[in-house]
């Protein structure tokens, strides 16, 4: 396997065949070792490595080699959606074929399918257990299994199990990094079975983390540290500065983490105070300055928060924040914040009120009809490219604070709500959602800040 990969699997960085690291060669050799009957010792290979360790390239190279070495072979690259399957392992296979004249002349690439001259094929497919039931695959590559947490994905794993007629001659290959404890259940089950309850395998490379579960015929590489020449300390210093701590540990140290963690460190928020920007006093808008207000109300007449911002260039400036608290064992009277909205609309040049429609539909509809201002329902889900929703807005707020592109005046309510917030990672690490640290930690004004900041930057009103 290794000699073929290092002879035929081309990468653009080297303008020729890939060069594998010593630990990668050792694990590949073990993954394809055979028993006394000539059968593969393992049916499932879990290749879990830190980000940018060419794990997808290796999976692609393995798939091409198996397809070339087996007549009438059927191989699949699977991810949580078709784009994921085709843009990772599928892309690296097509690229290697295009770069290698010998492979290019013999392969037929059609959309998401690669056909070889020996009647074998490799196809990129999404999670669809009903469509792939009864598969008789020679190799199935699952990409980024950490993201598999739905019933359909678990069923797909079951449907694509090693077929009995190919026992010892077919493989499931998982390429991934760590997931979220209690959420990435399928990967966590495999991790528990091979790493926690398996045996460490000494491949003669010191502390290399390789484990086997002989009964389950599983081999697992679970590397947790940089081992490749391009994985420099300066890169990780930069990444540690810009990523949430739990995400840095997950993708760059391959550690299991919780998807919920502190939104921002207090030090970041303190660094955004106007005094830390060299200002002697807080910046405030004039009556003509375009402003955006965010309005958020909790469920069951919980707290109500309003935050107003304006911007200067790429810098967001929250200048107003107020919350309304319901009486003990009572419900909040929405007439009070409504009166404040009317007052603010007269006092400032409000170009938009961004609000969570779930609790505020009736109020905002009435205010809109009365001409109080332009009220826009802010998507609490993903939204669209033109109008991103909360997961994108909350990540943008994180970036703005981290980059000190926010100037605040130390408003006690806003400060409390921002520091009360945890961050729930949404899908990949470029999206997150503000969530309460506990039911008693209110974040309404922070959510209002997120919506208002996102709209102020999107509308380019500075």
- How confident is the model at residue 79, as a pLDDT? 80
| Alpha-carbon gap, residue 133 to 348, rounded angstroms | 61
Mean pLDDT of the chain: 90
187: which 2 tokens?
């990967």
- How confident is the model at residue 195, as a pLDDT? 95
Kindly state the percentage of the chain with pLDDT values over 70: 92
- How confident is the model at residue 332, as a pLDDT? 83
Average pLDDT over residues 208-232: 96
What pLDDT band is residue 147 in, cutting at 50, 70 and 90?
A: confident
- Asked if residue 133 has pLDDT above 50, the reply is no
- How confident is the model at residue 221, as a pLDDT? 98
7: which 2 tokens?
């002879």
The per-residue pLDDT for range 58-75, each reduced to its tens digit, is 999 999 999 999 999 999
Nearest to 118 by CA among 137, 98, 103, 132: 103
- How confident is the model at residue 426, as a pLDDT? 67
Average pLDDT over residues 269-281: 97
What pTM did the predictor assign? Answer: 0.75
* Residue with token string 């404040």: 340
What pLDDT band is residue 384 in, cutting at 50, 70 and 90?
A: low
Q: CB–CB of 195/69 below 8 Å?
A: no
What pLDDT band is residue 381 in, cutting at 50, 70 and 90?
A: confident
| Alpha-carbon gap, residue 360 to 294, rounded angstroms | 12
Q: Which of these ranges, 34-43, 304-313, 357-366, has the smallest mean pLDDT?
A: 357-366
Q: Which residues contact 6 (CB under 8 A, 6 or more apart)?
A: 17, 18, 19, 20
- How confident is the model at residue 432, as a pLDDT? 87
- How confident is the model at residue 134, as a pLDDT? 46
- Asked if residue 271 has pLDDT above 80, the reply is yes
Q: Which of these ranges, 16-20, 262-266, 347-351, 413-417, has the smallest mean pLDDT?
A: 262-266
- How confident is the model at residue 317, as a pLDDT? 98
The per-residue pLDDT for range 307-349, each reduced to its tens digit, is 999 999 999 999 999 999 888 777 888 899 999 999 999 999 9
457: which 2 tokens?
């930057």
Nearest to 85 by CA among 120, 122, 121, 138: 122
The per-residue pLDDT for range 405-430, each reduced to its tens digit, is 999 999 999 999 999 999 887 655 56
Residue 364: how many CB atoms within 10 A of its CB?
22
- How confident is the model at residue 299, as a pLDDT? 54
Q: Which domains does the chain have, with CATH numbers?
A: 2-222 (3.40.50.300), 266-459 (3.30.420.240)
- Asked if residue 288 has pLDDT above 80, the reply is yes
414: which 2 tokens?
């806003």
| Alpha-carbon gap, residue 144 to 429, rounded angstroms | 13
| Residues facing residue 323 across a β-bridge | 305
- How confident is the model at residue 25, as a pLDDT? 98
């Amino acid at each position: 396997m290794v000699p073929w990969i290092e002879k035929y699997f081309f990468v653009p960085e080297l303008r020729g065949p890939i060069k594998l690291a010593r630990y990668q060669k050792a694990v590949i050799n073990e993954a394809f070792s055979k028993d006394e009957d000539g059968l593969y010792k393992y049916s499932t290979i879990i290749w879990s490595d830190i980000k940018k360790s060419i794990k997808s390239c290796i999976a692609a190279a393995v798939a091409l080699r198996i397809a070339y070495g087996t007549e009438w072979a059927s191989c699949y690259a699977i991810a949580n959606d078709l784009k994921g399957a085709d843009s990772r392992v599928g892309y690296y296979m097509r690229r290697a074929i295009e770069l290698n004249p010998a492979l290019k002349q013999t392969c037929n690439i059609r959309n998401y399918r690669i056909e070889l001259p020996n009647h074998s094929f490799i196809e990129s497919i999404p999670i669809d257990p009903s469509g792939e039931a009864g598969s008789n695959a020679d190799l199935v590559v699952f990409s980024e299994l950490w993201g598999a947490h739905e019933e359909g994905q678990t069923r797909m794993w079951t449907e694509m199990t090693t077929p009995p007629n190919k026992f010892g001659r077919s493989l499931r290959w998982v390429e991934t990094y760590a997931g979220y404890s209690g959420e990435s259940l399928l990967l966590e089950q495999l991790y528990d079975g091979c790493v926690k309850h398996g045996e460490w395998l000494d491949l003669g490379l010191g502390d290399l983390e390789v484990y086997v579960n002989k009964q389950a015929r599983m081999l697992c590489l679970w590397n947790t540290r940089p081992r490749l020449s391009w994985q420099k300390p300066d890169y990780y210093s930069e990444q540690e500065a810009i990523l949430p701590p739990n995400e840095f540990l997950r993708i760059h140290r391959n550690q299991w983490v919780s998807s919920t963690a502190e939104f921002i460190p207090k030090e970041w928020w303190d660094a955004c105070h106007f005094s830390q920007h060299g200002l002697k006093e807080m910046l405030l808008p004039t009556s003509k300055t375009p402003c955006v207000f965010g309005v958020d109300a909790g469920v069951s007449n919980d707290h109500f928060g309003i935050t107003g911002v304006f911007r200067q260039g790429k810098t967001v400036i929250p200048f107003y924040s107020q919350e309304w608290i319901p009486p003990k064992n009572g419900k909040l009277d929405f007439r009070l914040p409504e009166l404040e909205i009317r007052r603010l609309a007269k006092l400032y040049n409000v170009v938009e009120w961004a609000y969570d429609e779930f609790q505020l539909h009736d109020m905002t509809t009435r205010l809109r009809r009365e001409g109080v201002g332009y009220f826009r329902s802010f998507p609490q889900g993903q939204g669209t490219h033109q109008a991103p929703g909360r997961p994108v807005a909350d990540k943008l707020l994180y970036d703005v604070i981290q980059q000190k592109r926010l100037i605040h005046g130390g408003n006690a309510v806003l400060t409390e709500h921002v520091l009360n917030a945890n961050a729930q990672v949404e899908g990949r690490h470029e999206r997150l959602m503000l969530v309460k640290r506990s039911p008693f930690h209110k974040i309404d004004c922070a959510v209002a800040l997120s919506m208002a900041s996102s709209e102020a930057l999107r509308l380019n009103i500075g």
